[in-house]
Amino acid sequence: MKSYVPHAIAGRLLVIALLSFALASCATYTAPQPQMTSVVDPATLPHGVRTAEWDLGAVRYQWQGRGINYYEAGLSPILLIVHNHSSRMPVIYTQECAGIGQGGEEYGPYSVQQASEVVFASTAYKKSAEAAVVGGLTGAAVGAGLGALIGSGFNGGWGAGPGALIGAGAGAIGGMALTQRPSMDQYRSSLYQEMGTYAWRPNPIMPTTLIPGYFYFPNTVSIVALRVTMRVDNQVQTYVVPVDNPYW
């Protein structure tokens, strides 16, 4: 049996400590994930639209205090939530929907490309990018702007059941893509990816699922409702969904 003298043990501990310090110094600080919350069933919203086959609700974007503030960056994102409790599979195309202003005027939503151009031209983006690149912020601090309201089930395209836990977009996007201090191009790419991931997608809404997704409008207009066009089995159905303020 081998025996170790105290000096040898101390030497090994010192090497381990130095290696740990070296590894730690290579990483940058990653802020904690935003507080987990739950997808709200649109039927429980004060102005949700309830039907025999599906329920629809719309929720105004609200900055959660982490990540870029998309409203200050020029956008007014509106979160559409659809709960399909039928056996059919409706589809909603972004370009066939519109935001309704206070005077009844209608506004077509931005494409992800258009919305990103608005964000990248804003002062809020420049300040946020500088904080990330110069300050070395990663993870939730980079990508929490939209993802604080939408979860991993949505990221995979399968939707989420009512009450399913949801968290930061950074957990699936920014936190993995930017594990160390990002460059300006990486930060820009991370935000673009986040906006694309959380935008409404024209996928069939499977039975029993609850699907959320953002529609992007300019922050210079006040959107009070969404006009939602739904296609199902060669039928076209239109709903006017009032926008609620988030209460979670």
pLDDT-based confidence at residue 162 (cuts at 50, 70, 90): very low
Sign of torsion, CA 213 218 220 226?
negative
Q: Render pLDDT for 163-172 as a digit per residue (tens, 0 to 9).
A: 333 333 333 3
- Per-residue confidence (pLDDT) for residue 166, from 0 to 100: 36
Q: Render pLDDT for 214-229 as a digit per residue (tens, 0 to 9).
A: 999 999 999 999 999 9
Beta-ladder partners of 178: none
**What average pLDDT does the segment 86-110 reach?**
96
- Per-residue confidence (pLDDT) for residue 105, from 0 to 100: 96
Higher pLDDT among residues 183 and 145, named by residue = 183
Residue 29 vs residues 21, 132, 151, 246: alpha-carbon distances, Å: 14, 11, 23, 30
Answer whether 0.75 is exceeded by the pTM.
Answer: no
- Per-residue confidence (pLDDT) for residue 246, from 0 to 100: 79
∠ CA 177-137-134 to the nearest 5 degrees?
110
Which span out of 25-34, 39-48, 123-132, 181-190 was modeled with the highest average pLDDT?
39-48
Higher pLDDT among residues 73 and 21, named by residue = 73
Q: Domain extents for the chain? A: 29-244
Please say whether the beta carbons of 169 and 144 come within 8 A: yes
Higher pLDDT among residues 138 and 182, named by residue = 182
Higher pLDDT among residues 7 and 93, named by residue = 93
Structure tokens at 180: 């160390």
Beta-ladder partners of 214: 79, 199
- Per-residue confidence (pLDDT) for residue 135, from 0 to 100: 59
pLDDT-based confidence at residue 248 (cuts at 50, 70, 90): low
Q: Render pLDDT for 11-61 as a digit per residue (tens, 0 to 9).
A: 554 444 444 433 333 333 333 333 333 467 899 999 999 999 999 999 998
Please say whether the beta carbons of 67 and 143 come within 8 A: yes
pLDDT-based confidence at residue 174 (cuts at 50, 70, 90): very low
